[in-house]
Amino acid sequence: MTRVAIVTGGSRGIGKAISLALKEQGATVAANFAGNAAKAAEFTAETGIPTYQWDVGDHEACIAGCAKVAADLGPIDIVVNNAGITRDGVLHRMTFDDWNEVMRINLGGCFNMAKATFPGMRERGWGRIVNIGSINGQAGQYGQVNYAAAKSGIHGFTKALAQEGAKFGVTVNAIAPGYIDTEMVAAVPAPVLEKIVAKIPVGRLGHAEEIARAVAFFTSEDGGFATGSTMSVNGGQHMY
């Protein structure tokens, strides 16, 4: 049976690698994106994976977007909540909007996408939800109280929803990436990046494809006994 998957933020960076891994696994994939239509069009031309634009922090947009994907491709079996933003700053300089936007998109997006898709998975007796957390949600990070709180919330959300889905054949898991060689990390000044890499025991940044392979396991038929789990893929930078 061909599964239908949605990857939020699925046309760039880690999301792109996840979309490609799920396609390679045999899924019919839809990649959600927020704003860069030109990049999304390039992605579709390159991969053949259709893109759908909506803001995952907008509840009604998620309901409508998922309904559109289902109408085009079929019932949604797999959701990867990858979309996220940063609005970094120390607390005394962080505005409420900086806090609220990160919470609305990074954590609220997980809720919105689950509300749009979890009931159908439950009814059909099969589903896979994978939420992309972060090492900074596990260990904290200076200047990221908003991002760390949202990502930490994802790990709690994952465990709670996993308990609801287990008896219906719906698994809910999380991946906590460390520092990955994406465009976002590439923008970090070289001296700062050197200090980051120095703290990673394996001595390098991770690759987006390494996160994608972890997602591919959780979304596979073979991953059905793993639920409520957070897999840390961080080169040994944070262990607990």
**Annotated catalytic sites, by residue?**
147
What one-letter code names the amino acid at 224? G
Cβ neighbours of residue 191 under 8 Å, at least 6 residues apart? none
Nearest to 115 by CA among 169, 74, 76: 76
- Reduced to 3 states, what is the DSSP secondary structure of residue 53? strand
Sign of CA dihedral 115, 31, 18, 120: positive
- DSSP-derived pairing of the beta strands 51-53 and 78-81: unpaired
Six-digit token string for 54: 């909506």
CA distance linking residue 79 with residue 219, whole number of Å: 9
Q: How many CB atoms lie within 10 A of CB 92?
A: 5
Cα separation, 128 vs 200, in Å, equals 30
Concatenated DSSP letters for 182-227? SHHHHTS-HHHHHHHHHT-TTSS-B-HHHHHHHHHHHHSGGGTT--
